[in-house]
Structure 1
Amino acid sequence: MIKLNPCQIPEFVNAASKCEFDVDVSYNRVTIDAKSILGVFGLDFRSPLKVSYIGYNQDFEKFLTDHIA
Structure 2
Amino acid sequence: MSQSKIKLNATEEVQEFVNAASRCDFDIDVYYNRFLIDAKSILGVLSLDLTRELTVDCHGESREFDRTLKKFAVA
Q: TM-score, normalised by structure 1?
A: 0.94
Q: Which runs of 5+ in 1 are unaligned?
A: none
Gaps of 5+ in 2: none
Q: What amino acid sits opposite 1:4 in the alignment?
A: L
| Aligned residues between the structures | 69
Checking the alignment, whether the CA contact within 8 Å between 1:4 and 1:45 is kept in structure 2 is: yes
Q: TM-score, normalised by structure 2?
A: 0.87
Name the structure 2 match of 1:28. Answer: 33
Would you identify which runs of 4 or more consecutive aligned residues in structure 1 move more than 4 Å? none
